[in-house]
Amino acid sequence: MRFFQTTTVCLFIVIFNTAMVPFLFFPQYVFDPAVPFILFMSLLGSGRRAFGVSAGLGLVMDGFSGAPFGLYTTAYLWMAAAMRQVSTLIRVDQVWMIQLFAGLGVLFEDMVLLGMTALMDPGFRIPPTAAERIGVQMLLAAVLTPFLFSLLYRMVPTWNPSTNESRSRSGTKPWRTTSKG
C-alpha cells in the first residue's frame, strides 16, 4: 500500500512537471514539487525509502530532461542526505523550518542544475532572469510546502517514530503551527 501510494505521488510529480506545468500561468516560476516530497520522505520516512524515492524520481526526471544525465538524481540524493543529516542535528518540527528548508531545497536543485551544467558546458549561459525566477520559486515553495506536507501526510503513511527523535510519537503532525515560546 505504501509502495503504491509513494509510486502514485512520484508519478503525479513526473506528470505535473512534464505535462501540466506548460499549461500553468508563468510556468518559469513553478518550483519542482519533487523538492517538498523528498524533504517529506527524508524527514518522516526511513532512509532506505527516502534515498530510493530520490534515486527513482531523479532517474525518471533525468530521462525526461534535456539536462546532462544524472543531475536530477544527484540533486535529489544530496538533498535527501542533507535533510536527513539536518534532522539528526536539529528538530525540524516547526512550520517556518519546513518553509526554510523547502526554499533552500529549491535553491539547491536550481544551483545543481544550472551550476553543474555551466561547469560542464562552457557554452552554457545562465539565463539573465535566473535570480528572479529562482527567488520566486523559493518563495512559492516556502508558502506552499506546509500545505503539501499536510496533504502528503494524509496520503503517504511513511511515519516511522523509531528512526528519528524529531518525528511524531503519537501519530500527530511532526511540526507545530505556532512558534516555541
Partner 1 sequence: MAIIAGAVLLIAVNVIVVSVMVKYGQPESGIEKTALYISAPFQNAFHFVVNGSKNLWRHYFFLVFAARENEQLKKTLQAVREKNRRLAEIELANIRLRRLLEFRETIPYATISAEVVGRDPSRWFKTIVVNKGTGKGVRKGLPVVTPEGIVGQVIECTPGYSKILLAIDQKSAVDAMIQRTRTRGIVEGDPGGGFNFKYVLRKEDVRVGDRVISSGLDGVFPKGFDLGHVSGVVRPTAGMFQVVTVLPSVDFEKVEEVLIISNPPAHAFMEEK
Binding site for partner 1 (CB under 8 A): 14, 17-19, 21-22, 27-28, 30, 32, 61, 64-67, 72, 110, 113-114, 117, 121, 123-130, 133, 137
Between 17 and 164, name the residue whose CB sits nearer to partner 1: 17
- What is the grid cell recorded at 9? 505521488
- In 3D space, the residue among 125, 136, 151 whose CA is nearest the CA of residue 13 turns out to be 151
Q: How far is the CB of 22 from partner 1 (least distance, A)?
A: 5
Q: Cβ of 134: how many Cβ atoms within 10 Å?
A: 19
Amino acid at the residue 104:
L
Beta bridge partners of 176: 94
- Find the Cα–Cα–Cα–Cα dihedral 20, 23, 27, 32, rounded to 10°: -10
Q: How far is the CB of 176 from partner 1 (least distance, A)?
A: 33
Between 62 and 93, name the residue whose CB sits nearer to partner 1: 62
Between 93 and 109, name the residue whose CB sits nearer to partner 1: 109
Q: How far is the CB of 66 from partner 1 (least distance, A)?
A: 3
Amino acid at the residue 41:
M
